[in-house]
Amino acid sequence: MISKTPEPPYYAVIFTSLRTDGDEGYAAMSEKMLQLASRAKGFLGAEWARNELGITVSYWESLEAIKCWKNDVQHTVARKLGKEKWYKAFRVRVAKVEREYGFDG
Amino acid sequence: MISKTPEPPYYAVIFTSLRTDGDEGYAAMSEKMLQLASRAKGFLGAEWARNELGITVSYWESLEAIKCWKNDVQHTVARKLGKEKWYKAFRVRVAKVEREYGFDG
């Protein structure tokens, strides 16, 4: 669902990916990583969708929190497997959210 | 596909949305807006996916370029229709991309 994030500034990690064919444990690992990230210090929320392209945006309090999550041991193992078998290509963009607004129907 | 963006810094507009039921002209307007944005000054690329949640990330050279696209007459009409019939809820986040890296298989 749409993440309830605080007043900016905060950070977004935009992860865009093209998957290889077949699951090969991908869905289970995605779920596990989301659960793990959700408990990480400074995590503010995450949003994801996939058609031909997959997009996951996670939100974080600070660059330090992003770095800490990147260095998590289980996350590091998952990223290695991602390069080996789950992703044809991906792009990671780290961005500082400066402004936010919305509409709630 | 994954956008080929230049060296940071540049800007991202992260648009996350929940759709109403039915198309009601949405797909045609989405296509039209993407085409129009692609020709806008300062546009660098766009990525999108939708399951329960829709995520569109567009990339821009500057905040001025984002503002100019926001003020485009056709885009303004489309946004009004979006609130009236296409979206249950949405969130717009404007963010400065500070770092980018990736993997190409």
Q: What is the ipTM of this complex?
A: 0.97
Smallest Cα–Cα separation from A73: which of A44, A48, A40, A46?
A40
B87 part of a folded domain: yes
A92 part of a folded domain: yes
Per-residue pLDDT in tens (0 to 9) along chain B, 105 residues = 999 999 999 999 999 999 999 999 999 999 999 999 999 999 999 999 999 999 999 999 999 999 999 999 999 999 999 999 999 999 999 999 999 999 997
pLDDT of amino acid B9: 98
pLDDT of amino acid A72: 97
State how many domains chain B has. 1
% of chain A exceeding 70 in pLDDT: 100
Residue A93 to residue B59: CA distance in whole angstroms: 11
Query: Three-state secondary structure along B12-69?
Result: EEEEEEEECCCCCCHHHHHHHHHHHHHCCCCEEEEEEEECCCEEEEEEECCHHHHHHH
Under the banding of pLDDT at 50, 70 and 90, the label for residue A105 is: confident
pLDDT of amino acid B57: 98
B26 part of a folded domain: yes
A105 part of a folded domain: no
Enclosing H/E stretch for A27: helix A26-38
Enclosing H/E stretch for B101: strand B87-103
Model's pTM, two decimal places? 0.97
Smallest Cα–Cα separation from A46: which of A57, A35, A60, A31?
A57
B102 part of a folded domain: no
Length of chain B: 105
Least CB–CB distance from B98: residue in A87, A88, A96: A96
CATH number, position B61: 3.30.70.100
- Assigned token pair, A64: 């330090």
- pLDDT tens per residue, range A23-72: 999 999 999 999 999 999 999 999 999 999 999 999 999 999 999 999 99
In a mutational test of the A interface, the residue from B2, B50, B58, B104 whose CB has the highest number of chain A CBs within 10 Å is: B2
pLDDT of amino acid B16: 98
Residues of B in contact with A2 (CB under 8 A): 16-18, 53, 89-91
A2 part of a folded domain: no
pLDDT of amino acid B105: 77
Q: Kindly list the distances between the CA atom of residue A31 and the CA atoms of A2, A42, A46, A48, in Å, as whole numbers in the listed order.
A: 17, 19, 12, 12
B67 part of a folded domain: yes
Which residue does chain A place closest to B88, by CA atoms? A105
Residue B90: which domain range? 10-97
Which residue does chain B place closest to A102, by CA atoms? B91
Residue B38 to residue A47: CA distance in whole angstroms: 24
Are A99 and A6 a contacting pair, CB within 8 Å? Answer: no
Residue A90 to residue A15: CA distance in whole angstroms: 7
A61 part of a folded domain: yes
Least CB–CB distance from A99: residue in B8, B52, B94: B94
Smallest Cα–Cα separation from A37: which of A8, A6, A79, A88?
A79
